[in-house]
Structure formats: structure tokens, C-alpha cells
Amino acid sequence: MARHPLPGSERRLPDQARDVGAADPDQQLEVSILLRRRASEGLKARLDKIARGDRSDGHLSREAFAQNFGADPADVAAVEAFARTFGLTVVAEDLPRRTVRLSGSVTAFNEAFGVSLRRIEQGDFRFRGRVGAISLPEELAGPVEAVLGLDDRPQAQPHFRRRPGGVAQPRSASPTSYTPPQLAALYGFPSGAGAGECIGIIELGGGFTPADLTAYFSRIGVNPQPTVTAVSVDQGQNAPTGSADGPDGEVMLDIEVAGAVAPGARIVVYFASNTDAGFVDAVTTAAHDTTNKPSVISISWGSAESNWTTQSLNALDQAISAAASMGVTVCVASGDNGSSDGVTDGADHVDFPASSTWALGCGGTSVQASGGAITSETVWNDGAQGGAGGGGVSAVFAAPAWQQGLSATSAQGVQTPLAKRGVPDVSGDADPETGYSVRVDGADTVIGGTSAVAPLWAALITLINANRGSAVGYVNPTLYANAQAFNDITQGANGDFEASAGWDACSGLGSPKGTAIQTALAGVSPA
């Protein structure tokens, strides 16, 4: 049987990882197969117009997207035949999401995809991994664009930072904290509660307890309280760990920020495993959800672009672009490790999926206020604790039309025109020392990080959607054309990039003037 390597599927061992032997041949796993879409050129033409700010085609309904740009049933049938040949079982098929889910043993998957799955140790992590490329038989070389989930290495990190010592032991002598409604007021968010809208939140671990949410919203006076629903993706579950320093901190922060600012909106939390397959499947599930129909998706997980295979990066970028074509705004945290994004090679890196052209990348600031007004706002960089807002210039994505003519300012004050997509687009309070008062696993605490900024912006867009009666969808071109709708952040740096007048690579356009953002988006054509 002739076989072909799957482009972009190459894997290598992470730094300081070691192969300790073959994976258990009888271990059962599930893998997601991503198929090419029908009429891909037609969707590309539509997206090209959206990226230019041309909304004349309107938003696609989820049903219209599925009909025009889902997978071809013939390609699904080819995967089914392939699965039978290698003793794999088809456990799920989804034409709109272009996804076929297969299950089987390590031995069967090794033979089916020409790989050798191994047991890998990296520090305290133990995971199933592989090295090299996946191979496909001739009949799948065209239809299959990605094979995700053979590895189960963690793909992303949550972007939240708990104030050291929680509430009691801040690092500075004069810390403060805000409830989400207090920050919404400081940023001049428009009135309303987001009634009739749905916010989708992506989570790759941890969970929430309804009792905690009830206690929290009661404490800060949110009434009526938002409805929060968990959706399982690829067997992912709402599974609280009991540790506020673990993924529960991310989950509760996201829900409490979004729910407190837009309590009239339904909050739907999509839980998946922290793998490339889980991340992609969670976003495609939310984007194509015809039951809950989120108009905004909030993502507070990610990792440096260099940590992704090309196939998984492309798959997630396509998922976010599909959401944009259906009028869904995707808000993504830009990371908490400054201009390095936590990579130790001495170079600058940006976080993905915040760097996707189709995402609204959300960076971090530090906010001081008095008398109900902001008195100072600078780039978040806490120095000694190592946290700083992620930002810089993508190594993957081209500079979009709405960033043409912009420059990134270095810490030495040198301005370099953007050759690639700049991150972030917007910002908001993220410093743990001026952080968010939240409740996690039965205890009140203070949390910062750009993880808080993504749901804050998601809630703002939700209020605007509800107030205008239709989804604004892909907002980037309009926001960049309305710089006056932002508090321009001109002080501070995130490492190698410094704040400057206008857009910069550590605070983006700045933090929101909420009602001005609503006014800027008022002229956006309805779906």
C-alpha cells in the first residue's frame, strides 16, 4: 500500500523529555480526523471580504455553513472504510465540523497511521507521544487535513495568575482588587445584562461547583444570577480538582467574570481534554453548536506558536475563522509570560490562538482607580513574580489589512513596521496586584492574568450584541478603525516591547471605553 506523509504532522520530543519505551499496545484511545471542507475557495473568498471589513455578504447561519462548507460525505465514507481495514471503530461523525472520531488500540493506530506511539517523560509530566510524521494511504492523502490526539501531551496552559498568598499576602504594600462589575463601570461598559445571548467558554481541565457560583454572585450582588451549563466534548467533563491554583482557578475566573458583567446571558462551558484534539474539538463544537448558539467565545488557554504542529495550528485557526464567518466573536488571552511567552530560547514569541488573524487577542494592564475613575493604567509587568502581558509579532500569520502601517516599539524605543500579525489587539486589567475578586473551590481569592481579560471583553461584546439585537461578529477591522474608542496605554513594557501612542505590541489598541466601543460597532451591518 502506497503511503504519503501528512504535511504539518511532524512531531519531535520536547526539550528535556525522554523516551522511556513503547506505549502499552493494548491501551485504548480516541483520535480526531479533520477532513477537507467542500467549496473551500468559496469560504476563502467570503473570509477575505470579512478580513477587509466588507460585511456585504452578512453572516452565515450555522445551517448554511454546514450545507455549503462542511465535509463531503464521500470523504467520511473513505475514513470509515479505512477504519474497518485497521480494526478501528468510528465513534462519532460530524459533517459541519468536518470531524470523524475513531477509537482503537495503540497497536491499531500505530499500524493505521505509520507511527510508533511511545511513553514520554518530561519532568513531572507523563504522556503518550510520537516523533516524526503521520502517514496516510493514497485514498486519504487528499481528504484528511489533520490527525489529532495520537499524542496526549498537554497542548496549552491556562493564562491566569493568582495573587501570591491569595488575598492575604500580596507582593506589594498597596494592592487592590475589583469585582468584575466594578471594572466594567471603570471601563464605561454600556448598560444592559446581555439577555438573549450566549457566551461559550472553552476549558481544558478543572471545573466549577454550582454552590460556589451561587455564593459568589450573591456576595457581589448579581441578581438574577446567570445560567451556567457544562457541555462535554470528547468525554471531557466538569471535574473540579479542589485546588484554586490548578485549572479550577481558570474555570471559575472565566465564568465569574463573564457572568457578573453579562448576567442575562447564558454561559455554556465546553470541557475537553488538554490535547491538540481536545482544543480543536472544543472550539469547533462551540462554533457549530446549533442548540446553544453562542455569539461570543472566550478562550483563556494557549501556548507559544512554536509548541504547535502545523496541522494542529491550522486546524484551530480554521475553526476560529469558521466562527467568524458565522458571526461569532472569539476573544483569546494573549498569555502571561511577556514577550518570550515562556519559551527559553532567548527569542520573542507570541501565544496561539491569540495570534490567529480571526481572534481578538486580549492583553494585560495594571489599573489604579479612585472615586470611580481610572487614575493610572500601564502595561502589566510584575517583574519579580515573572508575570507580564503577552504580546509581540507572530512568526506564522501575515499582517492583516487592519494592521497595515503599524509598528512594534522595542524596549529601546525602536519602531519596526509589522511584517507579520501583531499581538494583542486590545487589553484590560490583568495584574494580580490590581486583580479580580473571585471565588474558587469555596474560598475568596484574587486572580489576574490575561485569562481575565478574554471573558471581560467577551462580556462587553455580549452586552453590545444584546443591545443592538444582532451579533457584531468579527470586530477587528472596525476596532482598528476607531482608536478613539480606547484608553491608549503609553507606559510600561512586557519585556522586549514597549508601550507607545496608538497600537503597541504589549497593550494593543488599549483598554476599552465601553460605550465608545458600542458606538463604533453600531454601524456594523447586522447578520
Q: How far is CA 56 from the centre of its chain?
A: 27
* pLDDT at position 167: 45
Residue 173 has pLDDT above 60, yes or no: no
385 pLDDT band (50/70/90 cuts)? Answer: low
Residue 379 has pLDDT above 60, yes or no: yes
pLDDT tens digits, one per residue of 407-429: 999 999 999 999 999 999 999 99
> 354: which 3 cell numbers?
491569540
* pLDDT at position 4: 95
* pLDDT at position 386: 75
Percentage, residues of the chain above pLDDT 90: 91
Residue 126 has pLDDT above 50, yes or no: yes
The answer, yes or no, to whether the previous bond of 424 is cis (omega within 30 of 0) is yes
Q: So which residues are the catalytic ones? A: 250, 254, 451
pLDDT tens digits, one per residue of 106-116: 999 999 999 99
| Phi, psi of 66, deg, nearest 5 | -60, -40
**3-state secondary structure at position 127:** strand
Please name each of the domains of the chain with its CATH number: 3-36+71-148 (no CATH), 157-399+425-482 (3.40.50.200)
pLDDT tens digits, one per residue of 53-68: 888 888 999 999 999 9
* Dihedral sign, Cα of residue 370, residue 376, residue 382, residue 387: positive
Helices and strands, counts by H and E, the chain: 12, 30
Q: Is 11 within 8 Å of 153 (Cβ atoms)?
A: no
> 315: which 3 cell numbers?
486546524
pLDDT tens digits, one per residue of 436-476: 999 999 999 999 999 999 999 999 999 999 999 999 999 99
> 479: which 3 cell numbers?
476596532
Mean pLDDT of 346-354: 97
* Dihedral sign, Cα of residue 336, residue 339, residue 345, residue 346: negative
* pLDDT at position 47: 94
Amino acid at 465: N
Q: What span, in angstroms and rounded, lies between the C-alpha atoms of 240 and 253?
A: 13
Residue 526 has pLDDT above 60, yes or no: no
The answer, yes or no, to whether the previous bond of 224 is cis (omega within 30 of 0) is yes
pLDDT tens digits, one per residue of 185-240: 999 999 999 999 999 999 999 999 999 999 999 999 999 999 999 999 999 999 99
The mean pLDDT of the chain is 95
> 407: which 3 cell numbers?
509598528
Give the DSSP letter string of 46-103: HHHHHHTT--TT-PPPHHHHHHHHS--HHHHHHHHHHHHHTT-EEEEEETTTTEEEEE
* pLDDT at position 384: 63
- Strands 99-105, 144-148: pairing kind: unpaired
